[in-house]
Structures are given as structure tokens and as C-alpha cells.
Amino acid sequence: EKGGFDHFMLKEIFEQPITIADSLRGRLVLNEDRIILSGIDAIKDKLMAARRIIIVACGTSWHAGLVAEYVIEELCRINVEVEYASEFRYRNPIVDADDVIIAISQSGETADTLVALERAKQQGATIFGIVNVVGSSIARISHAGCYTHAGPEIGVASTKAYTAQLAVLMLLALKVAKEKGTISAERFTELSQELNNIPEKVQWVLDNEVDNIKAIAFKYKDAHDVLYLGRGYNFPTALEGALKLKEISYIHAEGYPAAEMKHGPIALVDDQLPVVFIASKDAYHEKIVSNIQEIKARKGKVISVVSEGDEITPSISDDVMFVPVVDEVIAPLLTVVPLQLLSYYIGVYRGLDVDKPRNLAKSVTVE
């Protein structure tokens, strides 16, 4: 049942080229420059006219929401807010009929997300669900939605469900941007191609980087704390990398926007602290290089996720994990993969039950 893999988590990480392709299949129609998301049709007018989009989710799904905030604001020019379902449901939020709520959930059964949606629905909001489990509670209370096609996710730590969520959110952003006219025809084609190429780029990481990542995992398996830093589209990737490490290895980890570091967390840096930088080539690359130099100046150990062909970042890092060159908007679908593998192997080297980390349940149906 684990298909020859030692754990479901590893199997699910390796399934991602297929599950991402499955989530794009029939939806991304490259030769016609078109995206078909029939789930949107029922609420299309609301979505086009939306004054704002509120994304409601928990945990890893909330990280997918954060990526979507960057992508939807950039491509569609719609104001996006991303809310922890547990906070949103208790704070008497301002929601009205012009708001579209996007709920993101792998299980479709997360209690906090479900109740938050029920409340928002009562207040007149339109609910769009991005859910993996077909027929689940969140799928059923949504006005419309779009399933992720990740297949059953057994490992408690979410991996392939996350990248499937990102794939669907990218499709949604591209489709809305095209319909609203907020993206040029060239950029639409370019990003569609990039999205289409993601499965093979993820496969490249799985084919070429695993031995390297194992060695890095072995080297840092006894760390007490790890900092994850990223900027822009890869800031949520830093949060997700840190969450994966906490869950799987029980090592304390924090994700931060790289520039926030100097407002506090830099005090943690000494020659014992590993700092993971998500430093794939993007518009902020020079900035992240200077953030790396700030850590090196304080003798921190730098592990960087870098784009193939980048020579500067590896020269100032202690360890590097390569990914193929990718457009910055689509990058989160790719840059998270080495971080999933790093957490997995650190957990394994620490002798832990990576498929069933202590204290965690696959779906959190109590608040």
C-alpha cells in the first residue's frame, strides 16, 4: 500500500508530479489559452464583482491561502484577506454579500473552518470551497467549489494536498485575471506554460536532489531550532517549511519574512543556528542575498533553496538544495518540495514515526 516507499509521507511527496498534473488536467487548456474551472461558473458574477476575497483555512491549508493572497492581488487586483478559521469565527468579523469566501481544506472536515463558513454564509457571503475529500462537510456547505485531485492523503503532515491546493488556486487566479482583463495575453500564456511545466520540475527535484537533501538532513538532524526565511511569493513557503519540520522532527522551527528578521529573530542567530533560505530567483533575489549575508556575518549556518544556474547564492551558503528555474508567481509549487524532503529525512534520522507524529490527528474535527 505504500508502493515500495518506507512511509506514506515519502510516497505522497513522490506522487506530486502526478497529483499536480491531475489537479491541472482538463482545466488548463494550453492550446486554446484557456482555463476551464466549471466550479466557478455558479458564482462567476459574484467573483468578478467581489470587493474582496476572504480566504479561510487552518494550518498548511492556511499557508496555501497566503500564497493565493500574493498571486490573486498581483494578477486579479482584488483585495484578499487570509484568515485563520479559528480566529475568524470568534471575532465577529465584518462580512457582507459582496464578499467571496474561499475555504481551503484537505479533509473538508476541519471544525473551525466549517463553523467559520457557516457563520459567513448566514451573513450573506458566497462560499467557494477548495477541498480534497469529495462529499465532505465543507464541500457540501459551499455554494460552489473546485476539488483538488490529490487523492487520499494518509500521512498526517500535508504534502501533496498542499501542492494540489496551490495548483487550483493558481488556476483560479489566472482564470479570474483573464476574465477581468487584469493580465496581459502574453503573461497569461507565460504563466499557463509555467504551471504546465511544474510536474516535470518537481520530478527533477525528486530525481536529482534526494541524496543531497538526505546528506543535509543528516548534518542538521540534531539542531534545536531552525529559522526559515523567505520573501514575497516564498514567504508562505518559509512558514510551511517550518511547520513541516516541527510536525515531523519535533525540532522547534520558525518561519519569518526574511526582512522581519532584523526586527527581533536575528537575536537568535549564533554558530549553532541553521537558517533555511528560500532563495529561488525572483524580483527580490538581491534582497535575499543580502539577508543571507547578514546571517553569515553572525556565523549562522545557511541552507538555501536556489535556482539551478545561480552561482552567487551557493557561494555564500553552507548547503544548497537546487530547484529548476521557475517564474516567481508559480515558484511556491516547486520550492516547498525540497523542504518537505528535508523534514521527512530529519524525522527519519531522528527515529520518529513520520506518518503519525505525536499529538496530531489527520483531521481536526474538534475546536
Active site (catalytic) residues = 362
Q: From the CB of 98, what's the least distance to ligand F6R, in Å?
A: 26
Runs of H (alpha helix) within 275-315: 285-297, 312-315
User: 187: closest CA among 197, 178, 199?
Assistant: 178
- What percentage of the chain's residues is helix, strand, coil (to nearest 5)? 50, 15, 30
In contact, 314 and 320? CB cutoff 8 Å: yes
Q: Which residue is nearest to ligand F6R (CB)?
A: 59
Give the residue with the Cβ less far from ligand F6R, 183 or 243. Answer: 243
Whole-angstrom distance, CA of residue 69 vs CA of residue 116? 19
Q: Rounded to the nearest 5 degrees, what angle is found at the Cα of 44, between the Cα atoms of 181 and 99?
A: 95
Using CA atoms, how far residue 166 sits from 16, 62, 221, 348, 356, in Å, is: 12, 11, 29, 27, 24
Of 20 and 58, the one with the shorter C-beta distance to ligand F6R is: 58
Binding site residues, ligand F6R, CB under 6 A: 58-61, 105-107, 110, 113, 157-158, 243, 247, 363-364
In the complex, the smallest distance separating the C-beta of residue 93 from ligand F6R, rounded to whole angstroms, is: 19
* 8-state DSSP, 35: E
Q: Which is nearer to ligand F6R, 24 or 243 (CB)?
A: 243
To ligand F6R, the closest distance from the beta carbon of 337 in angstroms equals 14
Nearer to ligand F6R, 160 or 281 (CB): 160
Residue 222 CB, shortest distance to ligand F6R, in Å, is: 23
Interstrand relation of 252-257 and 274-279 (parallel, antiparallel or unpaired): unpaired
> What is the Cα–Cα distance from 248 to 243, expressed in whole angstroms?
9
Q: 60 or 304: whose CB is closer to ligand F6R?
A: 60
Smallest gap from residue 176 Cβ to ligand F6R (A): 22
Phi–psi pair at 366, nearest 5 degrees: -120, 155
